[in-house]
Amino acid sequence: MLNDDYTPMEFVVVVIQEYFNKDLETATQIMLKIHLDGKGVCGIYTKDVAATKVDQVLEAALKAGHPLKCISEPVE
């Protein structure tokens, strides 16, 4: 997930909890990493599952009116 200056931190935490099945503490830690480093890893999945999760996050952000971006990248 990529940082932006507009999406509320609370929304990012909820998205991480809902779509990546993280507890509140873990979701908050991931959100802070995204905020501080510009991006963060929410999980490692197969290519198809990752693509689905990206689509779900982007749709949720769009519906909520936030510019949140989520991408998938191959693990090196």
Mean pLDDT by 10 residues, the chain (76 residues): 97 98 98 98 97 98 98 92
- Amino acid symbol at 20: F
Asked whether residue 75 is assigned to any structural domain, the reply reads no
Q: 74 lies in a domain?
A: no
The pLDDT of residue 56: 98
- Domain containing 31 equals 9-64
Tokens 């830690």, residue? Answer: 29
State residue 19's pLDDT score.
Answer: 98
Within-domain flag for 2: no
For residue 18, being part of any structural domain is answered with: yes
46 exposed, middle or buried (CB, 10 Å; 0-12, 13-18, 19+)? exposed
Identify whether 71 is part of a domain. Answer: no
Number of domains in the chain: 1
Residue 76's pLDDT is 79
In this structure, what CATH number is given to the domain that contains residue 42? 3.30.1390.10
